[in-house]
């Protein structure tokens, strides 16, 4: 079923806000990853840019971490939409946001 833009955006912000952060519990992290992936793949291409622009610097860094996590465990068709998210997130976060994915000690 198609989601309305507003719902997708709200789900997105909720997923970002409730990211487990420093939780070490692997089950919690996996669940958060799964939720985030569902939210990201539910977006239409045209809605992505607006969603990225609604984030602050930390949010963009966090999104970039989830994008790369999504690349690690691809599902059918997930990489295509994640690449679009990547392009928009990169435009806002710059290469620095990717560097921080690589150097992060606490992964998502």
Give the binding site for other proteins (CB under 8 A): 57-58, 61, 83, 87, 93-97, 99-100, 103-105
Residue among 29 and 61 whose Cβ is closer to other proteins? 61
Could you count the other beta carbons within 10 Å of the beta carbon of residue 5? 14
CB of 2 to other proteins, least distance (A): 26
**Residue 82: HSE in the Cβ half-sphere, 13 Å Cα cutoff:** 20
CB of 52 to other proteins, least distance (A): 13
CB of 3 to other proteins, least distance (A): 26
Residues 6+ apart with CB under 8 A from 77: 41
Residue among 70 and 93 whose Cβ is closer to other proteins? 93
């Amino acid at each position: 079923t198609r989601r309305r833009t507003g719902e997708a955006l709200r789900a997105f912000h909720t997923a970002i806000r409730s990211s487990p952060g420093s939780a070490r519990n692997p089950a919690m992290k996996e669940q958060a990853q799964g939720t985030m992936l569902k939210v990201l793949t539910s977006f239409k291409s045209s809605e992505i840019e607006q969603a990225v622009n609604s984030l602050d610097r930390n949010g963009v860094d966090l999104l970039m971490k989830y994008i790369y996590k999504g690349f690690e465990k691809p599902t059918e068709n997930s990489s295509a939409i994640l690449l679009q998210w990547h392009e928009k997130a990169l435009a806002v976060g710059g290469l620095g946001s990717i560097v921080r994915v690589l150097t992060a000690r606490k992964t998502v």
